[in-house]
Structure 1
């Protein structure tokens, strides 16, 4: 996809010392243009309606193999004819071919974003545009794919640039490997192609191995990672290096090989479903299929003639531009039209083809074939760098322009938040809550950044490692210890617990892992097993046995264990696993307090507030279904199984506040802060804002700002639960 050297390539591969023996000449490769057309049409259909072509995403893999083949063919040809490779010339040509079209698409995407996309989304999209222009956006999406705090991230209109970024990163290293292979061949008196095959084989082994390991570990970054994708381009490179040998295969054998290759491609596009385990073993279907089609193409078989029909060849000629344009059009259309009907889908496809043709005809080719651009390598480099830098700046400007001033807080303003509720939330007057706020903090477009400082400190373990990370807050010199253990629903309470720890003389140790609940039940993530979470839980047992905290605070977002069974069965197993874990912690001598999961909104609250700044009250949601979605029921079942009690702000415990110690505790206590988040006076609904504080940041996580305003409520109910306070 990224390498658009055109199907009108003449590939002449010759070893400098053996040119008379090792020559393969090919003229116009209409079959390669046909393969490009199949790839881009497959991707287009998949993005318009994935059900129409379940494996259409594999079109990207077809592009990877083609790019690896063409780039390597040209590099070997240059080495064979000149005995060297000009990196300056190589990168200048790449920039002239790739950057202008990409820049035009990015500029148009930024303009369409300003016109049709809600302003609060400009920050993310602008950042993505900058990453796409710098050809590093695949790593941006890789990080986002495993970022538990990015669950509300919108579909990026430049998400498809990830594959272009992979190819550009490939171009940084592959010419160097060809040079090294050529030098080694000269030194060892071997053919350059032999050394290139060896180099490609090494890359295939390491990269494909990395992909298999990543998929086995459930690493979501594998899909976007250059390290797990290089093998696909290296397969194409192997075909290029082996071209003289492969050209000897002719007749029926070549025809059968070509047909088999096309068959593998079609099987991948039609039969394969889901991108979760990609790239993996099934990726071999489109990769090897494309390699076979390229290797045995040119024989003029019936199947090849079908692939080479003029409409496909024409589409192949504009495939790069079509790939660039189609995805922004589809994504932006989602903001323009209420529903993505078949008519809208067909209109998007038509507009994509039209813009692709116009781009090639009136923008790309005039630049690409201009005397100035092709005259000197430095001209091409300058053009590419200037256009790329301009796109990066444009993206950053768009990102910085995301705030429109709506609901902007006055300088120095501090929200009251939960403080407006009074000591007993159930007695709060609705008149104080059901008022449209003039300002809110955090600003809606900054809500996802309003997180506990432990994230900046690198204190939450990621989804892959089972190592226990521990960071200390509160009164770091205190003898008494509170340990916050669990997932992000546990650590979201740190802003309040940190203040309580400093005031009451507790060291606060945070031990958390992304999307990993404290439980002995088999962990579940994205509908599958979560082995690193299970291992982490075992390691936490040892950590707590050594740490011996006075109090362990935990919460959780996941209500279900990973079991084969019904929803009820999954919840029951999770409750039993949580109960077993809590009982074990109590045996260590620690008091256990479970903080109820916060209600799960049915939509992104901060996005609603950003879009409806004049009707913030309309961004409230019903409490009952929000609790059903949460883990409250699972937590309550576990606590009750152990004979524990449930406390809410404003209630009284069986014993006077502050008189129970950890050693006296016989059962865990669950504290439910729901009334502070969804006050009963709001008629069983959960408001988006209380006391000028935005409550939710993303998903069902509460903003650090609002949690901090809940400090006094939390302090009181913790004292009722037995926490010793002064």
Structure 2
């Protein structure tokens, strides 16, 4: 759901200090008389709101509405700042104070609701991630939180977050902070040079538009997930609206053309999300589609014709939707996610979607009339220059305190759920050999605790890490007992190979082994890019990794023998795996390759918590996952330096692959094994390694 959630909430900041969209300046000849109030702009906002909500709820897609709101925001604030300069200057304190007073009440109300709903209904393993996102959203850097996660393979495994739609509000908040400073600096230079304001401002905004658009196109092509949330890739959308605000009253267009432009803009907005995969190609040049559609609607303006799109956009229902658009955006995404969470569903269906939309409307209307409007009309915070900041602090501090309280409570639960090594209540994989894999044999609660699942990534407990001098973002971690080690073992590959560091970790000290891990998420040890299509970076990384291994000259390399063990018996051993093994064979390096563990389209641990560990819905069927003959036994040309190990008997107990074995939760998500469970595999790992290598 992350792709869809990326867009939600974008409409919040489209109004700066009041819900009425305004522009300034006299109307040129041939245009209708200037109106300070533009109800068709409210209708444009309403259209974008409806599109985003419906696309999210029923289609699971992104509509491009967020880009429309960025244009509207740039259009409105540029006009306001231009007027402020011509009237004597920008008063920064009152300006930002009014913005805080306009935006904080509804946003922080929703975040408080997210905290309450998250605590009551979210699975505990999603608490820490949600807390991080609430904190980032409250302080307006949620887009950077998501940008960081988009470049972190392990963070990408997180589920969609309740407040992640605040990323767009964060970018708008950053724009509100910086744009007045930019305009003031341009005005200062223009005044010193004896120039007027409009032309220098047009030049400055054009340069910002061009630079940001070029950067957006480049970054979208090279790292689209990062580009989607990056502030600098969105600047051009605000600038587009600002350039229009400075130019619109100097453009003379025939009424017939404006009628046509209005409907072209509306049609472009409606079909954008249907014809483009917005979540995978935006922002870049593709975002010109919805932004230019918004520009066409704004250019059309008030046609005073019954055939004009503005007649429909100015209707009272759409005007009302424009009024509540901020609250509707804020509420619809958490309502959608909570519905899916509580009902254990991936999709909502027609009736479920209607329930979500109605609930979102009810909450939005209540928030508008009980929170937004009273706060906007209140004189609180306006008597003093910096009063708006005090008003904001009164609202912000309680939300931050609630977030911190939830964090401390979660940390206490996590500490209480820790399991000591060798605890007989948690034999894990060893229960398979002992015949007591069923959780009914134990009195204690399963481990690790649900709240600890996000932190169950396998790693060495005592290690030091450094970046390889070969580059390629190659991170080399190793245990710190190198001086006394008799054997050196290197684990290489993707996150599934990393799982075996958890089984190796307890063996390092007693066996005098030194263990290395050289891991790149989503990049198995292969000569080809197996998981990320046509990733040259992965191919180059693996080529450099072979050279690194030759230099380390380990006694053994541990990696994966197969991947994609999932329903339908899709297990594969690509030729690229074998090609890498041959390179190590030429260097005389032994390889121990492990058969992959199952991957699911659900999270077994969370399912067991919801439905019970014995629910058939929470277990895999071995015959549907593993082919009778492993894929690596069906591929020719395997070099003699490779030994295969099949631990499928420890992921599946007989015909089923349960979520809990030996009172230990097997999975941290839908395909990665918990470190707690892998630690219990240490005796098996020791036996298999020493047998395979003849140690």
Instruction: Note if contact 1:636-1:670 (Cα within 8 Å) is conserved in structure 2.
Output: no
Does residue 496 of the first structure (1) align with residue 470 of the second (2)? no
Change in CA separation of 1:120 and 1:427 when aligned onto 2, cut-off 3 Å: closer
Q: Distance in 2 between matches of 1:116 and 1:418?
A: 28
Q: Distance in 2 between matches of 1:633 and 1:589?
A: 25
Of 507, 512, 518, the residue aligned with 1:511 is: 518
Give structure 1 stretches of 5+ with no counterpart: 15-23, 561-566, 644-665
Equivalent position SS for 2:279: coil
Mapping of residues 582-597 of structure 1, within 5 Å = 582-597=581-596
Match of 2:171 in 1: 166
Instruction: Note if contact 1:415-1:440 (Cα within 8 Å) is conserved in structure 2.
Output: no
Instruction: Note if contact 1:120-1:403 (Cα within 8 Å) is conserved in structure 2.
Output: no
Change in CA separation of 1:357 and 1:471 when aligned onto 2, cut-off 3 Å: same
Give structure 2 stretches of 5+ with no counterpart: 1-10, 27-32
Match of 1:63 in 2: 69
Q: Distance in 1 between matches of 2:255 and 2:492?
A: 68
Match of 1:112 in 2: 117
CA displacement at 1:157 relative to structure 2: 2.5
Does residue 668 of the first structure (1) align with residue 642 of the second (2)? yes
Instruction: Note if contact 1:106-1:391 (Cα within 8 Å) is conserved in structure 2.
Output: yes
Of 698, 710, 717, the residue aligned with 2:669 is: 698
Instruction: Note if contact 2:667-2:673 (Cα within 8 Å) is conserved in structure 1.
Output: yes
Instruction: Note if contact 1:415-1:693 (Cα within 8 Å) is conserved in structure 2.
Output: no
CA displacement at 1:250 relative to structure 2: 4.9
Match of 1:352 in 2: 360
Q: Distance in 2 between matches of 1:66 and 1:619?
A: 47
Mapping of residues 441-456 of structure 1, within 5 Å = 441-453=447-459
Does residue 229 of the first structure (1) align with residue 234 of the second (2)? yes
Change in CA separation of 1:50 and 1:427 when aligned onto 2, cut-off 3 Å: closer
Does residue 721 of the first structure (1) align with residue 692 of the second (2)? yes
Match of 2:30 in 1: none
**1:275-321 deviation digits (Å, cap 9, x = unpaired):** 11221322111011112322342343522222222211121121111
CA displacement at 1:239 relative to structure 2: 1.4
Equivalent position SS for 2:395: helix
Does residue 266 of the first structure (1) align with residue 256 of the second (2)? no
**1:224-279 deviation digits (Å, cap 9, x = unpaired):** 22222222112112212334433x44544444444443343234144323511221
CA displacement at 1:133 relative to structure 2: 1.6
Match of 2:53 in 1: 44
Q: Distance in 1 between matches of 2:668 and 2:534?
A: 27
Instruction: Note if contact 1:62-1:290 (Cα within 8 Å) is conserved in structure 2.
Output: yes
Change in CA separation of 1:470 and 1:115 when aligned onto 2, cut-off 3 Å: closer
Match of 1:475 in 2: 481
CA displacement at 1:179 relative to structure 2: 1.6
Of 358, 363, 367, the residue aligned with 2:375 is: 367
Match of 2:606 in 1: 607
Equivalent position SS for 2:281: coil
Equivalent position SS for 1:500: helix
Instruction: Note if contact 1:416-1:691 (Cα within 8 Å) is conserved in structure 2.
Output: no
Q: Distance in 1 between matches of 2:529 and 2:419?
A: 49
Q: Distance in 2 between matches of 1:575 and 1:36?
A: 50
CA displacement at 1:451 relative to structure 2: 2.0
Equivalent position SS for 1:374: coil
Q: Distance in 2 between matches of 1:460 and 1:296?
A: 59
Of 632, 638, 641, the residue aligned with 1:642 is: 638
Change in CA separation of 1:688 and 1:522 when aligned onto 2, cut-off 3 Å: closer
Equivalent position SS for 1:375: coil
Instruction: Note if contact 1:72-1:237 (Cα within 8 Å) is conserved in structure 2.
Output: yes
Structure 1 segments of 4+ aligned residues over 6 angstroms from their partners = 403-407, 454-458, 613-618
**1:92-139 deviation digits (Å, cap 9, x = unpaired):** 111110000112222223333344444544433333222222222222
Of 297, 301, 306, the residue aligned with 1:297 is: 301
Instruction: Note if contact 1:437-1:616 (Cα within 8 Å) is conserved in structure 2.
Output: no
Instruction: Note if contact 1:42-1:57 (Cα within 8 Å) is conserved in structure 2.
Output: yes
Change in CA separation of 1:433 and 1:35 when aligned onto 2, cut-off 3 Å: closer
Change in CA separation of 1:483 and 1:684 when aligned onto 2, cut-off 3 Å: same
Match of 1:333 in 2: 339
Q: Distance in 2 between matches of 1:461 and 1:599?
A: 31
Match of 1:34 in 2: 43
CA displacement at 1:368 relative to structure 2: 0.7
Change in CA separation of 1:588 and 1:346 when aligned onto 2, cut-off 3 Å: same
Q: Distance in 1 between matches of 2:22 and 2:417?
A: 63
Instruction: Note if contact 1:261-1:293 (Cα within 8 Å) is conserved in structure 2.
Output: yes
Mapping of residues 102-181 of structure 1, within 5 Å = 102-150=107-155, 153-181=158-186
Q: Distance in 2 between matches of 1:418 and 1:366?
A: 56
Change in CA separation of 1:406 and 1:515 when aligned onto 2, cut-off 3 Å: closer
- Shifted more, 585-594 versus 336-345: the winner is 336-345
Change in CA separation of 1:262 and 1:601 when aligned onto 2, cut-off 3 Å: closer
Change in CA separation of 1:576 and 1:708 when aligned onto 2, cut-off 3 Å: same
CA displacement at 1:602 relative to structure 2: 4.8
Mapping of residues 500-579 of structure 1, within 5 Å = 500-525=507-532, 528-555=533-560, 558-559=563-564, 575-579=574-578
- Shifted more, 180-189 versus 87-96: the winner is 180-189
Equivalent position SS for 1:697: coil
Q: Distance in 2 between matches of 1:313 and 1:712?
A: 68
Q: Distance in 2 between matches of 1:71 and 1:47?
A: 28
Match of 1:3 in 2: 14
Q: Distance in 1 between matches of 2:428 and 2:540?
A: 43
Equivalent position SS for 2:515: strand
Q: Distance in 1 between matches of 2:617 and 2:424?
A: 21
Q: Distance in 2 between matches of 1:104 and 1:456?
A: 44
Q: Distance in 2 between matches of 1:551 and 1:280?
A: 46
Mapping of residues 176-255 of structure 1, within 5 Å = 176-246=181-251, 248-255=252-259
Q: Distance in 2 between matches of 1:697 and 1:460?
A: 27
Instruction: Note if contact 1:37-1:319 (Cα within 8 Å) is conserved in structure 2.
Output: yes
CA displacement at 1:471 relative to structure 2: 2.2
Equivalent position SS for 1:493: helix
Instruction: Give the TM-score taking structure 1 as reference length.
Output: 0.83
Does residue 81 of the first structure (1) align with residue 81 of the second (2)? no
Q: Distance in 2 between matches of 1:309 and 1:715?
A: 74
Q: Distance in 2 between matches of 1:497 and 1:688?
A: 22
**TM-align CA RMSD:** 3.5
Equivalent position SS for 2:447: coil
Q: Distance in 1 between matches of 2:299 and 2:397?
A: 38
Q: Distance in 2 between matches of 1:501 and 1:197?
A: 65
Q: Distance in 2 between matches of 1:450 and 1:586?
A: 33
Instruction: Note if contact 1:408-1:439 (Cα within 8 Å) is conserved in structure 2.
Output: no
Instruction: Note if contact 1:488-1:556 (Cα within 8 Å) is conserved in structure 2.
Output: no
- Shifted more, 365-374 versus 295-304: the winner is 295-304
Equivalent position SS for 1:27: coil
CA displacement at 1:718 relative to structure 2: 0.6
Q: Distance in 2 between matches of 1:610 and 1:481?
A: 40
- Shifted more, 157-166 versus 289-298: the winner is 289-298
Match of 1:386 in 2: 394
Q: Distance in 2 between matches of 1:89 and 1:458?
A: 51
Instruction: Note if contact 2:588-2:641 (Cα within 8 Å) is conserved in structure 1.
Output: no
Q: Distance in 2 between matches of 1:173 and 1:501?
A: 53
Equivalent position SS for 1:641: coil
Equivalent position SS for 1:593: strand
Match of 1:712 in 2: 683
Q: Distance in 1 between matches of 2:129 and 2:99?
A: 28
